[in-house]
Structure formats: structure tokens, C-alpha cells
């Protein structure tokens, strides 16, 4: 993990990184603003378009925090400059998804529709093409938040291994099992 921590984080144009009181790092960019509280032992050096993190010793906890906070800072810089997207697919007969502002209304084979309210930082787009599975696209600058929202949506109906029905990420490989074998 310390090898990850030693790598500098490049700051693209249009992105600013500042350290405020109580070791709170604020990253501002065209896609938004993110902040993260850093451990007091880890110090940041901001110099000519790069941020490097410095740890006080080679203790195991300092090495692990060094890599962790470097990864968090890199995810914040990438998020505010490029953003993150997650594409999901609803596989199943009668499965539907409809986005209404910050609400995602899903019909997943239950006796009722599921209405899921998304955080304001996450943008949602639902596409339903004829003769194709409904697709949902989530966009945000916060990698942790968008991953958590996608996991909550997927948890409403996980892909099952026999028919492959459920909510899955596009490109995800669902392991299929053989069903009952008939015979006497």
C-alpha cells in the first residue's frame, strides 16, 4: 500500500486542491466540489500541479493510511474533473425503470412498484428501448456515493443464477447454474 501512497496525484487544469483547518482537503472542479477529512499524521504538499502525501514513519498504520488517503484524494480529483458513471441493466420480463427527477421508479416483479429517492449529488437517466432491457445510467463526481447508490439499487433484485433475471451492471458476468435434471 505504501507504493500507492508514494505516487503523486496530478492536478488537471480547472481543478483546485486546498487544505483547510482540521486537515480537511477541499477539491473543486468543473463537475463539483468534494471534501475529505485527512488523518492528522498525514501531511499534504501541493506544488506545481501535483499533490504528494507524506507519512511520518514506516509504521504499518501509517503506511496503510498513506495509501488510503492517496487513493481517496485521487478519486476526488478524477471525480471533479471527469466524473463517474455506472450503467445498470434490468433483465426480466416486465422489469421497468423510470426516472422522475431524483426519484427512480422500478417495477421488478413484486406486487408493488419500488420508488427509490436518490441523493442530490447523483444524476439518474433511465432508457427503455423497444425489444431491449431497460437501462439506468447513474452519474456523479463522488465515487463512494455513486457506488453505494448502485449497490442499493442492485440489492432490490440481485441477478439469480438460474434464469439470469435481476438488476446487473452492464458488462457484469453472471454465473449460470444448470437447473433440475429430469429423469428417473
> Which domains are seen in the chain, by residue range?
2-81 (3.90.930.12), 84-169 (3.90.930.12)
Q: Taking residues 69-75, report their average pLDDT.
A: 95
Per DSSP, helices labelled H in the chain are 2-6, 60-81, 143-155
Q: Is residue 19 within 8 Å of 25, Cβ to Cβ?
A: yes
Q: How far apart are the first and last CA of the chain?
A: 56
pLDDT at 184 over 70: no
Q: pLDDT band for position 1 (50/70/90)? A: very low
Asked whether the beta carbons of 73 and 25 are under 8 A apart, the reply is yes
Averaged over 156-179, what is the pLDDT?
91
51: DSSP letter? E
Q: What share of the chain has pLDDT > 70, as a percent? A: 98
Amino acid at each position: 500500500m505504501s507504493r500507492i501512497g508514494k505516487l503523486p496525484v496530478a492536478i488537471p487544469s480547472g481543478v483546485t486542491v486546498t487544505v483547510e483547518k482540521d486537515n480537511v482537503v477541499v477539491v473543486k472542479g468543473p463537475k463539483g466540489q468534494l471534501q475529505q477529512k485527512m488523518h492528522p499524521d498525514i501531511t499534504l504538499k501541493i506544488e506545481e500541479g501535483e499533490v504528494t502525501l507524506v507519512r511520518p514513519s514506516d509504521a504499518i498504520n501509517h503506511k496503510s493510511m498513506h495509501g488510503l488517503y492517496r487513493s481517496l484524494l485521487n478519486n476526488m480529483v478524477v471525480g471533479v474533473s471527469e466524473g463517474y458513471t455506472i450503467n445498470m441493466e434490468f433483465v426480466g420480463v416486465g422489469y421497468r425503470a423510470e426516472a422522475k427527477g431524483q426519484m427512480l421508479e422500478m417495477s421488478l416483479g413484486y406486487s408493488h412498484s419500488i420508488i427509490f429517492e436518490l441523493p442530490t449529488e447523483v444524476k439518474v437517466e433511465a432508457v427503455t428501448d423497444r425489444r431491449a432491457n431497460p437501462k439506468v445510467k447513474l452519474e456523479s463526481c463522488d465515487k463512494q456515493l455513486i457506488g453505494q447508490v448502485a449497490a442499493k439499487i442492485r440489492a432490490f433484485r440481485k441477478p439469480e443464477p438460474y434464469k439470469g433475471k435481476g438488476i446487473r451492471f452492464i458488462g457484469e458476468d453472471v454465473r449460470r447454474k444448470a437447473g433440475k435434471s429430469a429423469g428417473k
